[in-house]
Amino acid sequence: MYQSGGLETAMSSIQPPAQAPRDPTEAYRAERARLLVAFGEKLRAARERRSLSQEALADVVNVHRTHVGALELGQREPGLAMLLILAHGLEVSPGALLEGLSVPIERKAPTHSKRAP
């Protein structure tokens, strides 16, 4: 005999997985964001140890104060030259600004396809 609501009740009790597998691009972005924030915290700590304001550091390294602020908040990623300039301006080694940062595990998916031989 058919019972109404049986299948609906059974289906409503099925819960989606706690966390579905993430898109590799999303995982890459999340890990990169965490890395930039961690770098920004190290940059801020180094600046504060030298008793410099963001504006004073910006003057030393010849960038706008908002650029220093964006780096410290993890909103901008410094290039190699900027990393060296910041380290010089703070009178620390570039390694001091990078020490303790985790190496990213996630990699951005390649945007090109391999050619057939």
Model pLDDT for residues 21-67, shown as the tens digit of each residue: 467 788 888 889 999 999 999 999 999 999 999 999 999 999 999 99
Quote the CA–CA distance of 83 and 95 in Å, as a whole number.
10
Closest by CA position to 100, among listed 57, 49, 46, 53:
46
Is it the case that residue 4 has pLDDT exceeding 60?
A: no
Q: For a pLDDT cut of 70, what percent of the chain falls above it? A: 72
What stretches of the chain adopt beta strand conformation (E)? none
Region label for 100, one of left (φ > 0), alpha (ψ between -120 and 50) or beta (otherwise) = left
